[in-house]
Chains A and B, each alone.
Chain A
Amino acid sequence: RKEVEQDPGPFNVPEGATVAFNCTYSNSASQSFFWYRQDCRKEPKLLMSVYSSGNEDGRFTAQLNRASQYISLLIRDSKLSDSATYLCVVNYFGNEKLTFGTGTRLTIIP
């Protein structure tokens, strides 16, 4: 089983719609969780950290479910500029390493 698993997509979503991605992780010792965004032919950039209580940043909401070992990302009122690959990232306590999923590709259609 992959350490971090994501649906690769692609998700093709009309502008203005709401879209959600899930990501599952295999190691229950996972401590920190993040969503990174990677535009085509660009480097990954941190989108948001994911906190136990869930957190929101504008149109983006991240949730963590430790019991089921998954995190989610919800994008409301999607914009054309949201088109990118979204990377689920997990860190284990005391470890220097970030473990990345393969990413979910999202395309917002006008």
Chain B
Amino acid sequence: ETGVTQTPRHLVMGMTNKKSLKCEQHLGHNAMYWYKQSAKKPLELMFVYSLEERVENNSVPSRFSPECPNSSHLFLHLHTLQPEDSALYLCASSQGGGVDTQYFGPGTRLTVL
């Protein structure tokens, strides 16, 4: 088991709903990430936080809003999503930056109706 947990594990929401995904890491790491994994596509990096500061945002639509209140917690706030946003959302953490091993959470399987 990794030291990264995610809740909920599954989420079904309508396009007008607002929901949040939560990630928590128990590894004492300084960097946290949100990824999107869709079928037959590579993992897409959405956001990177290092020491609670956002360092990268890969041009993600504003309907996805991240929040990193401290180095152990990361949220992804969702509002007015589209059906094409249905995917597996993975959180990861690493000790430092990109060359460090990233440890992934189990993911949240999101379905947008």
Interface residues of A, Cβ cutoff 8 Å to B? 2, 4, 8, 31-32, 34, 42-46, 49, 87, 91-92, 95-103
Contact = CB atoms under 8 A, between A and B. Distances in A.
A46 B93 CA distance: 12
B86 interface: no
Nearest to B105: A43
Interface in B98-113: 98-99, 101-107
Contacts, number: 55
Contacts of B48: 96-97
A42 B2 contact: no
Interface stretch (B12-20, B39-47, B63-71, B72-80): B39-47
B56 A96 contact: yes
Give the size range of B's interface with the partner. Answer: 20 to 34
A46 B102 contact: yes
30 contacts: A4-B42, A8-B40, A42-B106, A43-B2, A43-B90, A43-B104, A43-B106, A43-B107, A44-B43, A44-B90, A45-B2, A45-B103, A45-B104, A46-B102, A49-B101, A87-B42, A91-B99, A92-B98, A95-B98, A97-B45, A97-B48, A97-B56, A98-B45, A98-B102, A99-B42, A99-B45, A102-B40, A102-B41, A102-B42, A103-B42
- State the main secondary structure of chain B at its contact with A: loop
Given A31-B99, A43-B104, A91-B98, A96 B42 contact: no
Nearest to B96: A96
